[in-house]
Amino acid sequence: IIAIHNTRLGPALGGCRFIEYISDDAAITDAIRLARGMSYKAALANVPQGGGKAVIIRPPLIRDRGALYRAFGRFVNDLGGRYITAVDSGTSLADMDEVAGVTPHVSGTGQDGADPSPVTALGVFSGLQAAVRHQLGTDSLQGLRVAIQGVGNVGYSLARHLHDAGARLVISDPDPSRTRRCQDAFQAEVVEPDAIYDQACDAFAPCGLGGILNGQTIPRLQCRIVAGAANNQLADDAQGDALHGAGILYAPDYVINAGGLIQVSLRHHRAPETEVLHRTRALGDTLGELFERSRREDRPPEQIANQRAEEILYGQG
């Protein structure tokens, strides 16, 4: 499934998600929501891309993974450049190498070195710093307690940044090998996946799959900041109001996690790595402006971010 949401700013760019779904309809809905988020992400990150996303429904048995991704690459190629693919949940750089063998419309492979995960984590770290500055009134993360949900490629890199900055970590992940790695490297406290919502902490960083901020989980949160890498963290728009009403500062996911898009977009256009890193660190400044406007207008930050993105994409406002 490939969903293209908007191409006003350029060809749609978004990763290929390879996970299990309960139905075709669920996979289509996920692709559409993710594509919209990519449009908004590109608009606020000021990169020359539209929003798109791909989904491959993961089968119980994979007989030939390379053949699967080459078939996907032919599908991408049939769109004639309207959509550029990249890695996402369940997809690797090696998979993108297979795609690159049959289409040029791919960014982030083993050959081009444009792995988006570390850069995504850098952007989330910069955004979390901005949130701490705004909400807690300090420039230091020393001694702050941060709960990270999901310590895969992005979550682990974020954990490293936070550990180096002196933060104390509590983590959860369904994969015990991932949690052990964080225990060994960062002395992180490990809790069961469902218990991560109940942790008394300064910031909660969702870095897994989406839809986890909902009517059941938000009342359990014991933090003042939500700032993480996961896409579509809010189960629906009402959950942003719920966070705002509870006094919890929410960093809109498609703003704070835009580092990966900046990486694959700018490297696709042959920009130097220094520009990628500069633009990624600047996500903290973008969020700082959103937070200030949120405080002045007493509106949830994601409402303001959505409005700004729609003004860029559709000329509204």
Return the active site residues: 53
Residue carrying the six token digits 């599908």:
75
- DSSP notation for 150-189: --SHHHHHHHHHHHHTT-EEEEE-S-HHHHHHHHHHH--E
Residue that has been written with the tokens 């952007």 in this structure: 123
The SS3 of residue 207 is: coil
Smallest CA-to-CA distance from 201 within 141, 156, 133, 256 is with 141
CA–CA dist 89, 208 (Å, integer):
9
- The angle that helices 283-297 and 116-136 make with each other, rounded to 10 degrees, is 40
Q: Are 35 and 53 in contact (CB under 8 A)?
A: yes
Cα(312)–Cα(48) distance, rounded to whole angstroms? Answer: 12
Contact 31, 3 (CB under 8 A): yes
